[in-house]
Structure formats: structure tokens, C-alpha cells
Amino acid sequence: MRTALLQSSGRPGSVAENLKVLDEAAGRAAAAGSALLVAPEMFLTGYAIGGDIARLAEPADGDSADAIAEITSRHGLAIAYGYPERDGETVFNSAQLISADGTRLANYRKTHLFGRFERDHFTPGEKPVVQAEVDGLTVGLMICYDVEFPENVRAHALAGTDLLVVPTAQMHPFQFVAESLVPVRAFENQMYVAYVNRVGQEGEFEFVGLSALAGPDGIARARAGRGEQLVLADVDPAHLAASREANPYLKDRRPGLYGSLV
């Protein structure tokens, strides 16, 4: 399954402009044969927008979800994107996956909030594994800091995730996460990981780019630089099956020894 990674910070503070950026990227991705387009964490609104987070937050089935469903249907590919989700008076840092026919497939709320900024603006989610099927693959959702917890990713591996989609807002000086940790997570859990970042200066944060699609062999199939970029790479089910046979981490686990971890 060809997967497109949209490395961009869009236009912080403007939902309308970010929908235009997403529409244009979806057109390019679909023309290149992609079945899935992934946008970064909080792509719909921007990340470092302070009090505007609560003002711009929308329900999972809100107007922007409808607009993105129209984009997926028109271009014929699925889209995963980050956004601030409003549920009553509560705001979550969320990621939603919408299918190529406009169906809302999955919605995930970030479970591990990073730093005071996020804890000031969001409530953490409570469901660690959220999945849906896209083109015959089991796609899991996670957001940024979540992938840095090995237990989180292992839970996805045990639940059968083939491709873990991680919209992110990875900032300086933590670029080693994109460069080193993400490929290791893919290898130790025998899955593909699509890690899709923001770029440039935004408020107090400098986002480092370096988006990647890492394979189960720990090799990045595609790697973006530090600027705005659309990168493409393939998720190969046959390669995934062969790698899992050659690297049987999940079969060789001894869960009875791990009780102290919890």
C-alpha cells in the first residue's frame, strides 16, 4: 500500500487554509498511487496556538471531518490527520482516520501528553489501541510522545497492527526520536511505522521534520528533510510476513516474567 507522508505545519490558526493544503496534498498523493495520506499532529488547526486550541476544537464528526471526508472521496484515498477534538467541555489531542469513501474509520485520543503546554490544553485519552482496516492492512493510530513508550507500541503489535500511523509534533532537540527510536520501534514490534512531523518555528517550538516510514527491518523506506515535503513509500504485506517469520519477537516473549512492569 503506497503511503504518503505530508510533512507540513500548514497555516497555524486557519482551519480553512489547512483544509486547502490537505486537499492539494491529497491530489498529489492520489496521482502517485497512494492509498493513504498521513498529516501531522494538530494539522487541522496548528499546534502552538495557545487559547485558540479550545476555540477551534471540533467534535470528531464536526464540519472539518465532513470536509475531509469529501476530500478523501473526491481523490479516492484514506486520510489520517491530527486535530483538537471537543467532547462537551473536554478537549483532546486527537487523530482521525477517514476512508477513501468518506467513512470515519477510527478516532484516537493521545494518551501521553508531553510537557506543560499539552497538559494545560488537553485531557489525556484512555484507550491505547485504536485500529481500522485500510486496503487489507490493520492500521493503528498513535500520536507523537505515545510512540516513545515501548509498552504502547507493543500493545499494538500484540493486537495485530501492521502499520502504525503516528502524526507528530517532534521538536528540537529531540530529533533522535525520528532518526533512531522510530526505526527501532518498527523492528522490535515487527510492523511499519509512519511518523509524520511538523516543520519550522511555531511559537516557542522548533519542529524538526525528518518524517519517515520505517519498515519491520528497522530501515526507513522514506525520509523527509527539514522543510515542507510530501514523501511516498510502500507498505509491503509480503515483506512484513517474511520479516515476522524471521524475527519472532512476539512468539518468543515470556509474559510471565514481565509482571513487575505493571
Mean pLDDT of the chain: 97
The string of pLDDT tens digits covering residues 22-52 is 999 999 999 999 999 999 999 999 999 999 9
User: What are phi and psi for residue 162, nearest 5 degrees?
Assistant: -95, -40
Task: Please tell me the predicted confidence (pLDDT) of residue 46.
Answer: 97
Distances in Å between the Cα of 134 and the Cα atoms of 13, 145, 172, 175, 222 are 30, 24, 33, 29, 20
User: Is residue 12 pLDDT above 90, yes or no?
Assistant: yes
Q: Is the pTM of this model over 0.85?
A: yes
Task: Please tell me the predicted confidence (pLDDT) of residue 262.
Answer: 78
Angle between helices 150-158 and 182-189 (to 10 degrees): 40
In sequence order, what DSSP letters do the residues of 153-193 get, joined into one string?
HHHHHHTT-SEEEEE---BTT-THIIIIIHHHHHHHHTSEE
The string of pLDDT tens digits covering residues 78-116 is 999 999 999 999 999 999 999 999 999 999 999 999 999
Q: How many CB atoms lie within 10 A of CB 165?
A: 29
Locate 54 and state its grid cell.
479550545
The string of pLDDT tens digits covering residues 197-246 is 999 999 999 999 999 999 999 999 999 999 999 999 999 999 999 999 99
Task: Give the span between the Cα atoms of 76 and 34, in whole angstroms.
Answer: 9
The residues assigned a catalytic role are 41, 110, 144
**Band (261; pLDDT cuts 50, 70, 90):** confident
Locate 191 and state its grid cell.
510492523
Q: Are 197 and 168 in contact (CB under 8 A)?
A: yes
Q: How many CB atoms lie within 10 A of CB 251?
A: 8
**Band (196; pLDDT cuts 50, 70, 90):** very high
User: Is residue 182 pLDDT above 90, yes or no?
Assistant: yes
